[in-house]
Structure 1
Amino acid sequence: MTHLSVNINKIATLRNARGGNVPNLLKVAADIERFGAEGITIHPRPDERHIRYQDARDLTKVVTTEYNIEGNPNPKFIDLVLETKPTQVTLVPDAIDAITSNAGWDTIAHKDFLKDVIKTFKENGIRTSIFVDANTKMVEGASEIGTDRIELYTESYAKAFDENKKEEGISPFIRAAIVANSLGLGINAGHDLSLDNIKYFKDSIPHLLEVSIGHALICESLYFGLDNVINMYLNKLK
């Protein structure tokens, strides 16, 4: 079964919109696990416009499943990860002013930098994952820098799915997954995955270990409720 990790950035965005502590991020994280999710994901950014660095610290006392911290490995982020020691760190090359992640790593151009960062995390017992496009060359590059897993950036698949071009959209991801499997890399995926498109993606990608879903899941929960939506995802991921 592919594991579901829920990204709770949007919960933090809602809390920050009014100040105070409503909704309570820590309680929501605990409830998400209680509803059946196998992981919690956060993506703190330098401006802390949603997840705050203190949230990352506080969540270590709450999360009992897999704890995944995403982000661009600048010095402040590296220090945070080494302090909190999550189950997994996912390295994402997002710009400081990016609204959301919009590209994977060039694992060839940034090989030396990523190799050093990954070595640091692995020496501290933290599993590493690299955010990459569905490009076999970038997957091969990821293998050379020593990462444990890749996370396939799935926006192009989701867009193709919405345009009724799902076979065309999934093809590069299948090729990338086959290469990853041959190189011994674990496969995660995330970005714009939803209740509509998750099952086809999961059924098409061999040995998909984990999906990280936030924006769509929280939006769908406005209509169906958080508990229901999490279990709808779990059913589709079986």
Structure 2
Amino acid sequence: MATIAAPDTIVRSDDRFFLVTSYLMALVVFAGFSFALASGRSSFASPPIVHAHALVFMGWVVLYVAQNSLVSSGAIALHRGLGWIGAGWVVAMVVLGTLVTTRLAQLGRVPPVFLPAQFLVFDPVLILTFAGLTAAAIVLRRSTQWHRRLHYCGMALLLGPALGRLLPLPLLIPYAYEVDFLAVLIFPLIGIAADIRRSGSVHPAWWWGLGAIVGSTVLVELISFSPLGAAFYAAVVAGTPGAAVSGYAFPPFPGMP
């Protein structure tokens, strides 16, 4: 009986882990953006497309928590049906994420903790990496262990902006982006540690997810500081106010000359 019960115990522990961490991730997002709003680092005085982007990305957070809650409660049929809505939702996230990044660069309103050329590269690369991890999770939906871990890694990647609002990034210039990336890695590492604690081994999905996250950051660094990155930035901001902003100098903070 012990050998039969052990896998069930692991599954229940797995369900609990992914449910609790989904709440934790949602809390990080809420805390990050609430803190930025309360401290005046963010405001509602943004272009409409930024608000649309925020609603769609927050919607994904709600969907992620809901999906883990449904699995934990045994509502698998509803979970699967909602999953197809999520697949379409990712497309909207990719489109809006890319459009918002481009628009902010063109307006010359890149967050001052990032180099404009780097910002223009890393947002699309990260959202596409998220989409790739999510697509892989959907393809492997019949393999629960792969499915939920790849989704988790994709969600972890989206926490960068919220974590950046909680971290003292202005004090970390010129390495603000890199420090934010290291903070994101905490979540997959928590997952790896939880696997070891539960079963004594690490599921390979964690290594693929971790590899995708690290690989995306390496790609961002390679492109951002290459002639390709410089040419890409110049082409995107050409003929806009952003053309007056150097792609490789940190913008001044609001209120500073």
TM-score higher than 0.5 here? no
The higher-RCO structure (CA 8 Å, 6+ apart) is 2
Higher percent of residues as helix: 2
Higher percent of residues as strand: 1
The structure whose Rg is larger is 2
Normalising by structure 2, what TM-score? Answer: 0.27
